[in-house]
Amino acid sequence: MKVLVIGGDGYCGWATALHLSARGYEVAILDSLVRRHWDLELGVETLTPITAIQKRIDCWQGHSGKRLELFVGDITNYEFLSQTLRSFEPEAIVHFGEQRSAPFSMIDREHAVLTQVNNVVGTLNLLYAMKEFLPDCHLVKLGTMGEYGTPNIDIEEGYITIEHNGRKDTLPYPKQPGSFYHLSKVHDSHNIHFACKVWGLRATDLNQGVVYGVLTEETGLDEVLINRLDYDGVFGTALNRFCIQAAVGHPLTVYGTGGQTRSFLDIRDTVRCVELAIANPAESGKFRVFNQFTELFSVGDLAMMVKKAGTAMGLDVEVNHLDNPRVELEEHYFNAKNTNLLSLGLQPHFLSDSLLDSLLNFAIRYKERVDAQQILPKVSWRR
Amino acid sequence: MKVLVIGGDGYCGWATALHLSARGYEVAILDSLVRRHWDLELGVETLTPITAIQKRIDCWQGHSGKRLELFVGDITNYEFLSQTLRSFEPEAIVHFGEQRSAPFSMIDREHAVLTQVNNVVGTLNLLYAMKEFLPDCHLVKLGTMGEYGTPNIDIEEGYITIEHNGRKDTLPYPKQPGSFYHLSKVHDSHNIHFACKVWGLRATDLNQGVVYGVLTEETGLDEVLINRLDYDGVFGTALNRFCIQAAVGHPLTVYGTGGQTRSFLDIRDTVRCVELAIANPAESGKFRVFNQFTELFSVGDLAMMVKKAGTAMGLDVEVNHLDNPRVELEEHYFNAKNTNLLSLGLQPHFLSDSLLDSLLNFAIRYKERVDAQQILPKVSWRR
């Protein structure tokens, strides 16, 4: 089965492309490489020394005997996108190809507009190209659990049945996204839902939690295959960032009280979830939503777990509560469903001491590459 | 009080600008005039011979002694927009400045992308400019009742209280928009809601029904002040279109069974609703939603009402059921609340025989201007 991975040079995309290739899927990568460009613009670098995509692909071929086809270009360019689809003819498209950082989208007006135009137009182009050339192809689109915000009721998977004034309907779950980035994902979800309805396309929206970890079976095979691992204030995410901070002796940066509860998953589960979605495609005309995470943690609890694991390894780990640069509730109810992927067979890698040890050791190995100036958050949500 | 009307050269915008000016507001118009350009592109024309915006403004000054300030430019140009806000310093901004036709947005990929980028970026720019230069200004933004779709439960005004698994929260009402245009309005609503939350802006989202009629107290004063009235398959809307079809002896174009129920209001109520919203601003940090309509009708019932009124005037009126070019339910539950504006004092002009007579006579007066080639819908929602 042919699978096109859009954004296949990124953190989740690269791991997913290799995972699918290893399992016998015929994989092509489409990537604009703009993520590397944004690192240059912001003057930040992944902790890990990632190699050029062409080198990565050659190395993977050396190990696996499998060649990933590569299309370098931008999906906001419809000509390029439609030529790629006509040339490769995928049966499934995994779409990671969006600007994925909330702080990046909040830097200023230009970054907010860039994020929303890039993400919304890229996905609109994809929907039109599928309608035109591959109406039966299955779109597996990365959304985010952050689309839901923190409602005071249980979070269902994409839809909720509401009884109101004696009548009943199952409607899209109300969204309360917390940044212009998260908003772009909500816009996408609505657009994709509509395209499924009017054109009979099939799509799965994976509302993913915060991904942690770096090694997968495939990316760990060779240093040339190494995955990116962001620790900076713009692209770094909670648990990965804490481990790197612990490794270099920087206090862990908890925003506010740390009572914010979020959903998390191991990158080894990300790749498996995408595989499960592809192997069990949505029906034609159906917009299916899976909540893609395995566990819920508060940010403060995560910091304490990293402190404990770090201390056991002889590191001196402090936890700092910074003024929260975001506008978000720090104490709130949060309970989200994630049964769809479990019922398709996902066997979670729960967060464990051994994963934390491995991640801390990994961070220590590359700690000389850390630029301490890039650790603290610099982007504020407020006026 | 100073009010900036963005899109003040359009159907609702022009009538609103004059209404507010007549009532003592100091009004400026910002318009890119692109609506007139789209008419040229599509080869269509309003039924009425509208004059240039500068002539309209001069004429209004002659009648009222009041000068409308004019800013010609596009709000997707942030420099232009922020200079306008700094120069005029409005206390309220009425934002009609979006691509507002569902069929236009469904013509092809280019028009879908144009609609979403134009509407979303224009509104994002406005939010950033308000945050930067006028954080206390009240944004009165035109949304649409079409954001809700046709849920099988009552439609509330923007929010719904949901009880779920023993807990309760009031959340944004779930949206099921039916075109890329309607989707752009949903995207806007989410973006504005977020900006109110993080920056403390104040906004009112007016989810407007289908507007009918053409004369207001002010636009009827002089033919130079005449409002636009669209009858073509792209920009024309249900009731206005039916009256013009009846006037020229074209069968009324009902899509499908005509069982689609929608919300409607007289343009004389549009201008009054906007005035009420301005006079009673939202609190700082609040994203307020009003459903702006006065009555519900099925499209088929409207056609029958026009047939009856036309027949009484001696016109020969046929009703044609066309294959529905849209993807929508033709038989469905529809019950929407509209108490917010009523409780602020709106006294509706309900649809009456005399309004239909007046609209039919108006259409007959200009019927030589009708291009029969432009009446039938040419844009299909389907693949």
Cβ contact B142:B12 at 8 Å: yes
pLDDT (0 to 100) of residue A94: 99
Q: Which residue carries 């929608």 as its tokens?
A: B262
Task: Determine, for residues A183 and B190 on separate chains, whether the beta-carbon distance falls below 8 Å.
Answer: yes
Active-site pick, B25, B48, B123, B185: B185
CATH 2.40.30.10 fits domain B2-374:
no
Average pLDDT over residues B261-268: 98
pLDDT (0 to 100) of residue A161: 98
Task: Determine, for residues A165 and B154 on separate chains, whether the beta-carbon distance falls below 8 Å.
Answer: yes
Cβ contact B246:B306 at 8 Å: yes
Cβ contact A256:A324 at 8 Å: yes
Tokens describing residue B88: 């005029």
Evaluate the CA torsion angle B222, B223, B224, B225 in order and state its sign: positive
Render each residue's pLDDT in chain A as its tens digit; 383 residues.
Answer: 999 999 999 999 999 999 999 999 999 999 999 999 999 999 999 999 999 999 999 999 999 999 999 999 999 999 999 999 999 999 999 999 999 999 999 999 999 999 999 999 999 999 999 999 999 999 999 999 999 999 999 999 999 999 999 999 999 999 999 999 999 999 999 999 999 999 999 999 999 999 999 999 999 999 999 999 999 999 999 999 999 999 999 999 999 999 999 999 999 999 999 999 999 999 999 999 999 999 999 999 999 999 999 999 999 999 999 999 999 999 999 999 999 999 999 999 999 999 999 999 999 999 999 999 999 999 999 99
Alpha carbon B222 to its chain's center: 23
Task: Determine, for residues B175 and A172 on separate chains, whether the beta-carbon distance falls below 8 Å.
Answer: yes
Interfacial A residues in 44-63 facing B (CB < 8 Å): none
Task: Determine, for residues B164 and A164 on separate chains, whether the beta-carbon distance falls below 8 Å.
Answer: no
Q: Which residue of A has its CA nearest to B78?
A: A109
* CB of A171 less than 8 A from some CB of B: yes
pLDDT (0 to 100) of residue B274: 98
CA distance A272 to A266: 10
The pLDDT mean for chain B works out to 98
Query: Catalytic site residue B181?
Result: yes
* CB of A79 less than 8 A from some CB of B: no
CA distance B367 to B48: 9
Task: Determine, for residues B383 and A131 on separate chains, whether the beta-carbon distance falls below 8 Å.
Answer: yes
* CB of A164 less than 8 A from some CB of B: yes
Buried b (16+ CB within 10 A) or exposed e, B230-265: bbbbbbbbbbbbbbbbbbbebbbbbbbebebbbbbb
Task: Determine, for residues B172 and A175 on separate chains, whether the beta-carbon distance falls below 8 Å.
Answer: yes
Q: Where are the domains of chain B?
A: 2-374
Task: Supply angle C-alpha B326, B327, B329, rounded to 5.
Answer: 115
Average pLDDT over residues B199-219: 98
Residues of A in contact with B77 (CB under 8 A): none
* CB of B348 less than 8 A from some CB of A: no
* CB of B79 less than 8 A from some CB of A: no
List, in sequence order, the alpha helices (H) in chain B.
11-22, 34-42, 53-64, 78-88, 102-105, 109-133, 180-199, 238-248, 267-279, 299-312, 339-343, 353-365
Q: Please count the CA atoms within 13 angstroms of the CA of A318 that sit on its side-chain side.
A: 7
pLDDT category of residue B47 using cuts at 50, 70 and 90:
very high
Task: Pick from B160, B191, B287, B324 the residue to mutate for testing the A interface (most A CBs within 10 Å).
Answer: B191
* CB of A337 less than 8 A from some CB of B: no
CA distance A231 to B342: 53
Model pTM? 0.98
Cβ contact B32:B213 at 8 Å: no
CA distance A9 to A21: 14
Size of interface A-B (CB pairs under 8 A): 144
* CB of B65 less than 8 A from some CB of A: no
Task: Determine, for residues A190 and B175 on separate chains, whether the beta-carbon distance falls below 8 Å.
Answer: yes
CA distance B201 to chain A (A): 10
Cβ contact B171:A151 at 8 Å: yes
Query: Catalytic site residue B185?
Result: yes
* DSSP H or E segment with residue B70: strand B69-72
B152 contacts: CB under 8 Å, gap ≥ 6: A167, A168, A169, B332, B333
Q: Which of A319, A305, A317, A292 is nearest to A354 (CA)?
A: A305
Task: Pick from B169, B184, B289 the residue to mutate for testing the A interface (most A CBs within 10 Å).
Answer: B169
Buried b (16+ CB within 10 A) or exposed e, A17-42: bbbbbbeebbbbbbbbebbbebbeeb
Task: Determine, for residues B190 and A187 on separate chains, whether the beta-carbon distance falls below 8 Å.
Answer: yes
Q: Which of B310, B303, B201 is nearest to B252 (CA)?
A: B303
Alpha carbon A335 to its chain's center: 20
User: Which residues of A does the annotation mark as catalytic?
Assistant: 144, 181, 185
CA distance A232 to A378: 10
Task: Pick from B106, B171, B196, B327 the residue to mutate for testing the A interface (most A CBs within 10 Å).
Answer: B171
Cβ contact B315:B307 at 8 Å: no
Tokens describing residue A77: 């360019």
CA distance B344 to chain A (A): 24
- Residue among B112, B171, B177 whose CB faces A124 most closely: B112
pLDDT (0 to 100) of residue A101: 98
pLDDT (0 to 100) of residue B219: 98
Please report, for residues A76, A90, A199, A225, B355, the alpha-carbon distance to residue A3 in angstroms, rounded to integers and kept in the order given: 20, 5, 21, 20, 59
